[in-house]
Each structure stands twice: as structure tokens, then as C-alpha cells.
Amino acid sequence: MWEVRSSSFWRAVFAEFFATMIYVFFGMGASLRWGAGPLHLLQVALAFGLAAATLVQTLGHGSGGPFNPESRERFGARGPGEVLRAANRRAAQLLGAQLGGHAWALGAETWAVAEGSREESRKIQPGVTLAQATTIEIFLTLQFVLCIFAAYDDRHNGRMGSVALAIGFSLALGHLFGIYYTGASMNPARSFAPAVITRNFSNHWVYWVGPVLGATLGGLIYDFILCPRMRGLAERLAILKGEPVADGQASPEPPGEPVELKTQAL
């Protein structure tokens, strides 16, 4: 608990707040419909993806991870100390999303953008049931969290390329698929901001239940199936207590060889 009194702790909390504010501001700004006709899907997907990649590259070392309440919770919440850190960062993300969303709304009014031209990107589209919407959000968040775990996994020794680009492309992929169904949330903080601004919480639970289940499933699949970590009893007890794990406590893992995919000639 002593970390709450450290400057690095609050620096990380501020980084989460600031990054979420910038992410929501640019993403929602790119979602404005300025003229007649459908919104350009690629524009929105690239805006969210590039914003995430830029912020991970710029602030990821200060916050320690992605700017998403559910991926952050699954990524780092282990033991009492981590739960406290996750709670503070979740609050910072929700507050940052609100500030970014209200700044966007103020700008939209200043630029005389008609109310009907705003793209309510966190809206379940006609013909999509609640069960389908929840399932889609589960799979969108699942692939996103799997990418986050793989990109930040230090066991890859930098062989997997750029962390920022991987996360940005994963987020853009989710938007390219999910916008026409649910708006592609993958982030409860991102969905909460427009809901507060428009005062429309209809079926808002979908954008919490879907990402929570998807992030939890992604964490379990990565940690226990795809890339399990062999932990000893001492290491598990240290994690539960929220204590740092010493190098000597961790079970040695042989470095994995790069996976090479080969095809046979038909």
C-alpha cells in the first residue's frame, strides 16, 4: 500500500487519465458526420487505431499498459496492491473519458455541427439482438486483449515487433468489423463518455458485460493455454500478497524458439 504515496504511482494514474482523454477526444472527433451519406468506416477505424498506437508509444512506459479499464484489470490486477492500483487507474480512465468526451461535444457545438450529424458510435444497430451484440463485443475484446498480452509479454524478447503498432492494428481491426453491429466499443470508458453526453443509457450494460467477459476469457486463454507461466508456490504466494516476485522465486523458463510457419506445395 505504500505505493500510493509514491510519485511514480500517481504519475501512472495521470498517464492513464491523460491518455484516455486524448483517445476519446480524437476518436469521437473522427466519428463526426460532416455531410450527407454514410460515415467512412476506414476513417473511424484508423483514427482509433492510430490514437491508441500513438498513446501506447508515448505514454505506455509511464502508465505500464493499455488505456482500457478491462484490459488493464485483466493485465495487472493481482493481489491487494494491484487491485488498489487497478481501481485508481479505472477511475482515472473514466474521468479522462468524460473530459475528452465533453471537450469533443463542446467543440462540435462550437463548430455548429448539427445534432443529427453526430455518429452515436456506441449504439446497437437495428436488427442486432442484445445477445448478438454482447457476443460480438466479447470476441472484439478477446482478440484485442490477446494482442495486448502477447505484445507486452517479455518472454518474446522483442521478436514480435512494435508493441504500439500491434495494439493499434488490433483496435483498428475490431472497429472495421464491429462498427456496423455495435459500434465496436471494446472499452467501457470509451462507451461511458458518449452515454453520459447524450444521456442515453439504453442497453448500456452490453458495453460493460461484453468487454469484461471478453477480457477475462482472453486473459485465461493466454495465461493458461497459449503461453502458460509455470509458477512455483513461493511465487504464487507473493502474487496473492501483492509483493514483488524476486528473480530467484520465479520458476526458470527456457526461452522459446520463434515459430515458423511452413506450407507444403500442393
Instruction: Report pLDDT digits (tens) over 132-159.
Output: 999 999 999 999 999 998 888 877 765 6
Residue 41: inside a domain, yes or no? Answer: yes
- How many domains is the chain partitioned into structurally? 1
Low-confidence ranges of the chain (pLDDT < 50): 72-74, 76-79, 110-121, 248-252, 254-255, 258-266
Q: Does 264 fall in a domain?
A: no
Matching residue, cell 509455470: 230
CATH, residue 196: 1.20.1080.10
Question: Does residue 70 form part of some domain?
Answer: yes
Give tens-digit pLDDT for 157-198.
Answer: 656 678 899 999 999 999 999 988 998 989 888 888 888 887
> What is residue 70's predicted lDDT score, i.e. its pLDDT?
54
Q: Is residue 246 part of a domain?
A: no
Flag whether 251 is in a domain: no
DSSP label of 116: G
pLDDT of 224 reads 86
User: CA 189, CA 208: separation in Å to the nearest integer?
Assistant: 9
Asked, for residue 253, whether it belongs to a domain, the answer is no
Quick one: residue 199, left, alpha or beta (phi over 0 = left, psi -120 to 50 = alpha)? left
Residue type, 50: L
Question: Does 88 fall in a domain?
Answer: yes
Does residue 163 contact residue 60 with C-beta atoms inside 8 Å?
yes
Quote the pLDDT of residue 117. Answer: 40
The domain in which residue 26 lies consists of 2-241
| Within a domain: 250 | no
Q: What is the DSSP letter of 105?
A: H
**Could you tell me what percentage of the chain is helix, strand and coil, using 3-state DSSP and rounding each to the nearest 5?**
65, 0, 35
pTM for the structure as a whole: 0.77
